[in-house]
Chains A and B, each alone.
Chain A
Amino acid sequence: MKQKQKLILFLIAFISLSAYSQNIIRGVITEKSTGNPIPGVNVVIKGTSNGAVSDFDGNYTIEASIGETLVFSYIGFKNLEVVISESTLNIALEEDAATLDEVVIIGYGSASVKDLTGAIEKVTTEDFNPGAITSPEQLITGKTAGVNVIPPSGQPGQGGTISIRGGNSSLSANNSPLVVIDGVPIDQGTTGGNGVAALNSINPNDIESFVVLKDASSTAIYGSRASAGVILITTKSGNLSSPFKVQINTTGSIGMVQRTNDVLNAEQYRQVAVNSQNASLIVPLLGNIDTDWQDEIFQEALGTDSNITLTQGFGSTSYRVSLGYTTQEGLVKTSKFERSSASINLLQKLFDNSLSIDLNLRGALTQDDFANGGALGSASQFDPTQSVFSGSEEFGGYWEWLQPDGTPQPLSPRNPVALLQLLSNTAETERALGNIKFDYNAPFLEGLNANINLGFDYNEVNGVTNTPASSAAGFFSQGSVGDYGSIRRSTLIDAFLNYKKDIESLRSSIELTAGHTFQKFYRKNFNSNTPTVGTSVENSFETQNALESYVTRLRYSYDSRYLLTASYRSDGSSRFSEDNRWGNFFAGALAWNISEENFLKDSNTVSNLKLRLGYGQTGQQEIGVDFGYLPVYVNGADNQQYQLGNTFYNTVRPQGFDENIKWEESETYNIGLDYGFLNDRISGSIEYFTRETNDVLNLIPIPSGTNLTNQLTTNIGDLENSGFEFTITSDIIRKKDFNWNLSFNASYLTNKILKLNIVDDPSFIGVPTGFITGGIGNTVQIHRVGSPQRSFLLFKQVYDTDGRPLEGVYEDLNNDGVIDSGDLYVSENPAADYLFGLSSSASYKNWDLSFTMRASLGNYVYNNVASSTGNEFGLHSLGSNRNVHVSILETGFRNNQLLSDYYLEDASFLKMDNITLGYNFKDILKDDNIGLRLQLTMQNVFTITGYNGIDPEISGGIDNNFFPRPRNIVFGANMNF
């Protein structure tokens, strides 16, 4: 079926259209309300792709025949169709009643903005962040309230972290929102292969809009995957009846290091070393060079991004083809990201437009060169008095720490430049995803619509690492090679019926949706490392899961004033035993369009006022294990054998399991108020939500001896989240030559753990989390009942009269006379209390200027770079000198004091993410069929913060050799003809 349909599509797409006798038709297009001319209006002969565009004075000319129909279209105005009766045709276009009639995808359907009952935000192309953007989520950073996109680190090609409303609906399960691309939910598991984000092989240039479903009344339609919110991505497609258009975008960027780790320079190092307790060990090893190792590993990073898009639309067919090519170097030498992508969208209407077939196919080939992961840490720790090169041939010519016998000291930092230049780690990612959607309006019953969506997603990563024998890192193994990779595959079948009916006699409209969906996932990870000598390691893991769901939704509106939405989803997951397999998720929402009431209907001041109330149940089944309910055996690897007699045996081990494992379930209440004043020149919304999550999965200790492991992931905890959100958008200036729009959003978020264990024991300290470097297994955070997630758990530092921290002296908070783990206290947490976003876009004649700023208040970061190295003991270890953090100059610590709250800092910040200046050449070109716009963008313009480390915006709140984000200067050109 699928194959044949595709064939038909292609056939129809290339049918040529018959010709008519042609006349020149001309006229002026004006705005109906003001009479001002409108430039840039599309004029197309209906049923063809022949068209023209109005010039700056609203004039158009087009070759057409009397009797044909012209279609006039322009964003913000209603489309107009006019049958040609004479050769002059002046047109007045009517303004579209603002954005309220805008249609928003809501998950298995769509609705107009004025009919929405949930907390839903839409971000479209014109609002997207500009600049050198390789991963789509960066397009909406700072644009919506309650959605926090932490930009990726400076590692090229990496994706950011998205959290909706704090993303704290779970402890151990996934807290990332469900992402749905053109109706196909993407595997929520990590992608594998260096943790590169699931979205980064989607070309950002192909994205039309993001719709963020925030409250549970809107997300519950996605049931067991919706607790962390849902993001619906719609990709661009062609328009019917539009002329052939070529659009070319190209940008070039250069990225620079903003800030590096504050470690001692050579002179400081010598000084500190001479006076330290281990001076006798350190001083003989000192070199006489002055090397800034961070300088040695960073570079100016160049990037390019080019896209070409072809679109054309006929009467019942349209297509869009886009090709993209992106290269992005990283700030760390040898790191690079390269992506080639292609996408095709075909739309075909059949049978008097009753059947529409929509095909999306996209593919991307990504080539990653990963800089050696140890180089950043080494650069902070390598002795600044040593030189990069040794002068000898050994170890690739690089200077290294050696043992007395001349072999490299294996546990010393390796020369970071050698790590970058000699070792390699490259990966190739193939990604293909697509869907074909059949949408059929049944002719025998008006309003009945049947819909089938078939989708797939395929992602394959293949990586190779190489550590040559000539490098110090490869000395003992005499070189090693490694392979790693992953495969992610999913297939989807959706079938839906939708029935919509306006009952005018009752002033009601009703819409019913019912559907059945099935999605299956397969994942495989593998890695191996084969040294020339020594033990080879080979690990591989393969798994699968499936999800089947029945979905229904009712939407009812009375007199456009009172709106009701109710939905119900039943989800079956292969991850649970048959007894727990099915979960039911209900949601309901009410909205009152107050502005439709008589007392406001004619108000010139209040153009929109809507009160919304919502309730929803959602679940979480991304629990990290696929067969946690089944007793199974796992085979042992070849390097975990045991000898019995003269034979080595691979082992088998029974796995611990929880046969009762099930969904995490959340209940969310939401109240929201949408407002619009002065014909929506000022608009926005206010939201409050509160969410309680039960049966939260947590890895907890279980009674020893009762199972085959000591800790088990089981449904045990309760969590609470709540928050306020506020948005306001205003067209401050709206003139012919001068426009200025300003948007602001703010959110306040808080979360608390209510329950964590089987036994409600007040002495239970909680579940440690937040691993740090400096020793092995040390943690600085805790999940504790009564506190927010990942709260820091540290000792309270005591300071001397000069304000210097006293080494090892902490407050005896429990007054028992000794300083022990009982004196650790819960203080702050890494989540921000308040998040703000501000976007401004202004245009004056052909110039435009826009910027995005973000601020975060109350987010704390533990400076692990300082805590792990900033002490005298860190100056020397295992026969090698090591550089340390400058905090040693203040603290004078001898040993590391990892659990001192001295290292916990308020990392509130204000950032300007980007600023863009653009110029449109339409006046100069004087040709309506050609457009050219140039722009200059700066990304990561400035950061104002009290935090002392590289960057205050650290996901998880532990700063440890963060790959710095670059400050980019981006030059872009945008052409269409």
Chain B
Amino acid sequence: MKAIKILNRLTNISTLLIMVMLLLLASCADELDLEPLSAQTSEITFQNLDAYKQFLAKIYGGISLTGQDTSGNFDDIAGINGNFSNYLRLFFTTQELATDESIIAWNDQTIHNIHNHVWTSSDIFITAMYARVYFQIGLVNQFMRETEPGVLDSRGNVDEALREEIAGFRDEARFMRALSYWHGIDMFGDIPLVDENDPVGAFFPEQTSRVEMFNYLESELLDIESRLPNPRQNEYGRADKAFVWMLLAKLYLNAEVYTNTDRYVDALEYTERIINAGYTLVPEYSYLFLADNDSNGAEGEIIYPVLFDGIANGSFGGTTYLVHAAIGGNMNAADFGVNSGWAGLRTTSAFVAKFNDISGNTDSRAKFHTSGQTLEIENPFDFTQGYAVTKYRNVDVNGVIGSDVSGNNVDVNFPMFRLADAYLMYAEIFLRGGGGDASTALLYINLLRERAYGDASGNIAISDLTLDFILDERSRELYWECHRRTDLIRFGQFSDQGIWPWKGNIAAGRTTEKFRDLYPMPSAELNANPNLVPTPGY
């Protein structure tokens, strides 16, 4: 019956026509204003008050993580494999692979060009390093915009206590921005300055000179320094005054390279502040690079640990890379607390020669695996050519594997800054005429050597304390910690001086062009921004 009724209604000739007319004219335009489902607008994001600290965690994590997940769809950096794009992994490539301390066997894109000193401005790794630096800067700029007092006011849900905490976050974020800008001028020279006062979107930043950038960084760091917590008083892993002092000290130490004006006196001031801040050397050198270096005593020496965790960090960058990639040949991965070696990173004979005894029995810093390996490298693609380095290991002091028992990801925190570096800097500044005194310089150096040798047998005399010695000692103490390229350039030994195997693309090594003291402004940047000029020489 009902059906017949409807039929009758339909016989009304215009029912369908009217419907069509209505549908024709009715607009669904509102339906086009859709909300994303797997992401949120800023408004919704910061309704959650934890988001501020989660954003801060993103900024710190920018050094050790690769993206928002491991699917490859939410990597931070595009144009390169996600695992390759990790900040620390790229930083190792630019700072270590380009030097005598490290060489790699793999055949990934242009990776050999770095050690061989034949990189070009379109190099994928250099481009990604540049992008990583500015990704960090962009994150911090956005954090600053989202946490401006006026913006916090407008959200209406930030109470006084949280506001104060956020003010601290802002200073820490600015430290992290300064760290990346420092990496930027160290590697690339003149680079654009963008901060929270710039918009997000299409504009062409002007190139800033290295000198201007140096001055900007100095003022930034001096500004936040007073407000940051005292050394070792902030939460573990977060910036305090000592982070800033170390960065200032490094800027001043390298000021002659960056600005042609030396600042050794200032460098000494901040180096001394660090040395007197209560940090202590861990008794065993090897403890600095173990899975429990947050609790085995190394935490007392490491000023800025970049934190890694086998469970919480599932990407193959950072120390996960440094442990796996250094294992190959007949090495036993299980000894390193991981499930496999990736047979990539070794070292050159030039670095091995820095040690009189490579067995590690006298100088315990000599951490080489030589069985099944040759000292010299005839084929760079063969892992077994060149001694392997056993510095980073994902086991604790008792040999127990880290938190990821499947052996993929490691717990080893990376020592971005540590006390031993400050000791070496003191001695160098003294030798460069920045002040301080000889006996203190000698004392600091011998503290490191006593730790390395286990006794005073390796101590040096004041007559041994020369700049050449410092450069070598820095290498023995700090190898594979991403200082080497900067050190070599400060000592004038990176490009047109200094020879090590495969530098210049030949087995014996040769000097390369002076312009290689700077990495090139990536061609991708030059193509995107008409305000930039190519780095001279490239």
Contacts and interface: CB of A to CB of B under 8 A. Distances in A.
Interface of A: 4, 7-8, 11, 277-278, 281, 350-351, 355, 403-405, 407, 409-411, 438, 440, 442-444, 450-452, 476-478, 493, 495-497, 514-516, 518, 520, 527, 531, 533-535, 537, 539-546, 548, 572-574, 578, 581, 626-627, 630-646, 648-655, 657-660, 699-711, 757-759, 761, 763-765, 774-779, 818, 820-822, 873, 877-879, 894-896, 898
A626 B36 contact: yes
B109 A644 contact: no
A830 to B, nearest CB: 21
A706 B381 contact: no
B34 A574 contact: yes
Interface of B: 3, 6-7, 10-11, 13, 16-17, 19-29, 31-34, 36-42, 45, 51, 53-58, 60-61, 64-71, 73-74, 76-81, 83-84, 106-111, 113, 118, 120, 122, 124, 127-128, 130-131, 133-135, 137-139, 141-142, 192, 194, 198, 200-205, 235-238, 307, 309-315, 328, 330, 332-334, 339-343, 379, 381-382, 384, 404-409, 522-530, 532
A964 to B, nearest CB: 27
Nearest to B74: A634
Contact of A452 (B16, B84, B201, B204): B16
A13 B16 CA distance: 21
A649 B45 CA distance: 15
Contacts of B381: 873, 895
A55 to B, nearest CB: 42
Given A405-B334, A634-B74, A878-B343, A518 B204 contact: no
A533 B404 CA distance: 7
A411 B340 contact: yes
A539 B68 CA distance: 10
Contacts of B194: 705-706
Given A11-B3, A631-B41, A633-B42, A534 B334 contact: no
Given A495-B19, A702-B528, A542 B107 contact: no
Contact of B11 (A351, A635, A660, A818): A351
Given A642-B60, A654-B42, 14 more contacts: A277-B382, A351-B11, A516-B24, A516-B25, A520-B31, A535-B404, A546-B34, A627-B36, A636-B61, A642-B307, A645-B238, A651-B65, A701-B525, A774-B107
A7 B36 contact: no
Given A450-B16, A642-B61, A703-B529, A649 B404 contact: no
Contacts of B10: 350-351, 355
Contact of A703 (B39, B205, B408): B205
12 contacts: A440-B16, A443-B13, A497-B21, A534-B407, A540-B38, A548-B32, A574-B31, A644-B57, A651-B65, A703-B203, A703-B528, A710-B128
In the complex, the 3 A-B pairs of residues with the closest C-beta atoms, listed nearest first: A534-B406, A639-B314, A642-B61
A877 to B, nearest CB: 7
A452 B20 contact: yes
A821 B339 contact: no
Contacts of A452: 16, 19-20, 23
Nearest to A547: B32
Contact of B58 (A637, A645, A651): A651
A548 B328 contact: no
A707 B84 contact: no
A653 B56 CA distance: 10
B200 A631 contact: yes
A438 B39 CA distance: 39
Most buried by A among B24, B27, B80, B381: B24
A644 B53 contact: yes
Nearest to A277: B379
B31 A711 contact: no
Contacts of A709: 76-78, 135, 138
B74 A535 contact: no
Contacts of A878: 328, 340-343
B138 A651 contact: no
A658 B202 CA distance: 8
Contacts of B110: 821
Contacts of B532: 703
Contacts of B530: 758-759
Contacts of A516: 23-26
Contacts of A705: 134, 137-138, 141, 192, 194, 198, 205
B156 to A, nearest CB: 19
B69 A641 contact: no
A764 B313 CA distance: 37
Nearest to B405: A533
Given A543-B38, A640-B67, A764-B527, A653 B76 contact: yes
B525 to A, nearest CB: 6
Given A638-B312, A709-B78, A704 B405 contact: no
Contacts of B53: 644, 649
A873 B31 contact: no
A590 B300 CA distance: 83
Contact of A355 (B16, B41, B80, B107): B16
B407 A476 contact: yes
A649 B60 CA distance: 11
Most buried by A among B11, B36, B77, B106: B36
Contacts of B142: 654, 708
B385 to A, nearest CB: 10
Nearest to A549: B28
B132 to A, nearest CB: 8
Given A545-B34, A632-B39, A776-B109, A639 B313 contact: yes
Contact of B24 (A514, A533, A701): A514
Given A644-B237, A649-B54, A403 B340 contact: yes
Contacts of A651: 54-55, 57-58, 61, 65, 68
B192 A495 contact: no
B3 A8 contact: yes
A653 B69 contact: no
A83 B66 CA distance: 80
A614 B77 CA distance: 44
Nearest to B141: A705
A515 B21 CA distance: 9
A531 B328 CA distance: 25
A453 to B, nearest CB: 10
Most buried by B among A533, A710, A757: A710
A654 B139 contact: yes
A700 B313 CA distance: 29
B41 A450 contact: no
Contacts of B58: 636, 642, 651-653
Contacts of A779: 109
A450 B14 CA distance: 10
Nearest to A281: B384
Nearest to B79: A711
Contacts of A546: 28, 31-32, 34
A759 B202 CA distance: 13
Contact of B79 (A640, A657, A710): A710
B20 A495 contact: yes
B54 A778 contact: no
B409 A541 contact: no
Contacts of B236: 643-646
Most buried by B among A635, A645, A774: A635
Given A496-B20, A632-B36, A777 B108 contact: yes
A777 B68 contact: no
Nearest to A516: B24
A507 B415 CA distance: 88
B254 to A, nearest CB: 22
Contact of B69 (A451, A640, A701, A711): A640
Contacts of B33: 574, 578
B109 A764 contact: no
Contacts of A654: 42, 139, 142
A777 B80 contact: yes
Given A546-B34, A639-B313, A642-B307, A710 B328 contact: no
